[in-house]
């Protein structure tokens, strides 16, 4: 039979273990970025796409290496509608931090390190609208991004999912979950050409 002293020691040890486990669990939960679950609506869009890196490079006005500074839900989502309520257009204004400029027009400042770009995706409550199965830039994930300036002077991402490539490798957010093995293979091949053309690698 345990003495009173031994019982006290045992209770203290158990309490310390419980508190330690609770702290570790809390830290693990806090360290993981929150991934919201949305109902995704895929909509077709007329966009110019390129299957060759050289043509994409020639068409893009601005190519940067950078990352989205905000989580998807915290970005500015724009949805316009006709008078009858039918959706007219949608996009998301995404703030990015520029780490390196690969290509730029003459009037783009060489020392600019922040930019708001347009992505062909938007959010309305818990419904995510996406054009041509586009998957948005992930917060804090450094990527090479291909952009084109529109008539309003804003830069928008081009070439759908083949217009951005994470330098951190392939993840579940690189392509939509519905992608076929052929689409994945084409994406990997295209990404490899991009990495080689601009001398990029996962150790960037």
The topology (CATH level 3) of 37-197 is OB fold (Dihydrolipoamide Acetyltransferase, E2P) (2.40.50)
Does the pTM surpass 0.85? The reply is: no
More confident: 143 or 22: 143
In this predicted model, what pLDDT tens digit does every residue of 154-200 receive, in sequence order? Answer: 999 999 999 999 999 988 889 988 889 999 999 999 999 999 999 99
130 in Cβ contact with 41 (< 8 Å): yes
Beta bridge partners, 42, equal 130
Nearest to 136 by CA among 86, 70, 191: 70
* 163 alpha carbon, distance to own chain's centre: 12
Structure tokens at 93: 């204004």
Nearest to 125 by CA among 90, 73, 85, 165: 73
In this predicted model, what pLDDT tens digit does every residue of 43-73 receive, in sequence order? Answer: 999 889 999 999 999 999 999 999 999 999 9
Domain parsing of the chain, residue ranges? 37-197
State how far the Cα of 143 lies from the Cα of 154, in Å rounded to an integer. Answer: 19
129 in Cβ contact with 85 (< 8 Å): no
């Amino acid at each position: 039979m345990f003495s009173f002293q031994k019982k006290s020691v045992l209770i203290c040890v158990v309490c310390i273990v419980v508190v330690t486990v609770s702290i570790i669990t809390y830290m693990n939960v806090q360290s993981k970025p929150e991934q919201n679950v949305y109902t995704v609506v895929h909509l077709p869009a007329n966009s110019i796409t390129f299957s060759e890196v050289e043509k994409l490079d020639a068409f893009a006005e601005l190519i940067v290496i950078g990352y989205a500074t905000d989580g998807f839900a915290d970005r500015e989502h724009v949805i316009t509608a006709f008078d009858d309520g039918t959706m007219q257009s949608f996009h998301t204004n995404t703030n990015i931090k520029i780490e390196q400029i690969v290509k730029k027009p003459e009037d783009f400042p060489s020392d600019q390190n922040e930019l708001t770009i347009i992505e062909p995706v938007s959010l309305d409550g818990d419904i995510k609208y996406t054009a041509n199965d586009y998957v948005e830039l992930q917060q804090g994930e450094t990527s090479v991004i291909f952009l084109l300036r529109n008539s309003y002077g804003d830069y928008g991402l081009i070439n759908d999912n083949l217009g951005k490539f994470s330098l951190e490798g392939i993840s579940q957010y690189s392509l939509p979950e519905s992608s076929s093995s052929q689409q994945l293979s084409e994406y990997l091949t295209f990404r490899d050409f991009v990495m080689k053309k601009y001398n990029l690698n996962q150790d960037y």
